[in-house]
Amino acid sequence: MRLIMRQSEKDVAVWTANYIVQRISFFSPVPGEPPSKPFVLGLPTGSTPIEIYQALVGRHNAGLVSFENVTTFNMDEYVGLAPDHPQSYHKFMDDHLFSHVNIAKEHIHILDGCADNLKAECAAYEEAIKKAGGIELFLGGIGEDGHIAFNEPGSSLTSRTRVVALTRETREVNARFFSRVDEVPKQALSVGVGTVMDAREVVIVAAGKRKARAIAACVEGPVTQMCTASCLQMHPNVTVVCDEAAIAELKYGTVQYYLEAEKRCK
Ligand code: GLP
């Protein structure tokens, strides 16, 4: 694991956007489906990625990155929210990223939470990821209880894309986007922990004091289904990017180790 510590949420966004731009450019994606080579990028929603998307749009407008040969797969979507619902993740992605960059509609994949057959929708999503050649880089946030995507505590660490029941805690946290907690859907479609683990690289971003407990459990805690992000300790290529507030519950020695490691990697 690599742990990148930056002062503010803005610095986390800048580091992450620059990193993604660099990864896409080193990869040199070429058009079309495999065997030609799109850059397959997994994407999250939530508040933390918003500044990252703004920074990516800025770099796209400055001609520093093209999304022409990028294929995306979003992590999750609420069950029962139509794509044009103001709080759907389809709408979120369109508002914050897709409508501002040169990505083709057919390269965007987001689970359909209104599909007639949700199980078939999830199975088809796993197939589509495979067909695209697997995910090159999965960007993710982290929930206050340590969830990645919508893999709530208790999710199997080998889970695949499926229908999940949201916890009361997650629905309360996400109620800030709705008028009341009762309006937050009780279920979602989510890639599984196993789906994230299959990505060739995972980058997790966290900012703010409310993420400190989850970050400590993810980085230092035991690998447990009660904090699904802790499974990333078993991934060979994972970077966790945090601001100062989000590392508040890490041990002093842990912070010193990763600071030293980052200096040596320069
Ligand atoms: C939701 C999303 C997660 C995201 C989490 C944290 O639960 N399903 O993918 O990581 O929110 O989001 P935020 O960045 O708003 O704290």
Q: What is the pLDDT of residues 125-176, one digit of tens each?
A: 999 999 999 999 999 999 999 999 999 999 999 999 999 999 999 999 999 9
Catalytic residues: 76, 145, 147, 152
Greatest Cα-to-Cα distance within the chain, rounded to the nearest angstrom = 52
Ligand 1, pocket-test mutation among 173, 186, 210, most atoms within 8 A of CB: 173
pLDDT at 31 over 90: no
Q: Is 229 in the pocket of ligand 1 (CB under 6 A)?
A: no
pLDDT at 32: 59
Share of the chain above pLDDT 90, in %: 93
pLDDT-derived band at 206 (thresholds 50, 70, 90) equals very high
pLDDT-derived band at 28 (thresholds 50, 70, 90) equals confident
Q: Is 102 in the pocket of ligand 1 (CB under 6 A)?
A: no
pLDDT at 265: 77
- Sheet order of strands, 187-190 included: 76-78, 187-190, 162-165
Residue 140, token pair as written in the block: 């993710």
Q: Whose Cα sits closest to atom 13 in ligand 1?
A: 46
- Cα of 24 vs centre of ligand 1, distance in Å, is 24
